[in-house]
Amino acid sequence: MRSFIFSLLFLIGGISPALCDDAQPAEPAEKLADMQSMKDFLAANPDCREFNDSCSYCVVTNGQAECSTPQIACVKKPYQCTARSGK
């Protein structure tokens, strides 16, 4: 009987970590909608030659953005201009 009780306690103890809620909640849809589109960013920053969002690195060539493949497990941030044209 004692071994049955210990087995039951180990079973419950083994399952309990899987039942805890450590996961971060998903970002609200409103915050995701606030992320600036690349087109809007380029329109607001016409002199920007290079920019990134911490996932992809982009270069503007002939008015078109050419970007690298996003990195694995990156966290997208707002676009940031890293080089401006000297006009």
Q: DSSP states of 11-56 as a string?
A: HHHHHHHHHS--SPPPPPHHHHHHSPPHHHHHHH-TTEEEEE-SS-
The number of residues in the chain equals 87
pLDDT, position 28: 57
Residue 84 in any domain: the answer is: yes
Domains contained in the chain, number? 1
For residue 50, give its domain range. 36-87
Of residues 27 and 83, more confidently modeled: 83
**Across the chain, what does the average pLDDT equal?**
79
pLDDT the model gives residue 87:
60
What is the pLDDT at residue 33?
Answer: 44
**With 90 as the cut, is the pLDDT of residue 49 above it?**
yes
pLDDT of 22 strictly over 80: no
Instruction: Examine residue 18 and state whether it is found in any structural domain, yes or no.
Output: no
Mean pLDDT of 50-67: 93
Q: Please give the model's pTM, rounded to 2 decimal places.
A: 0.57
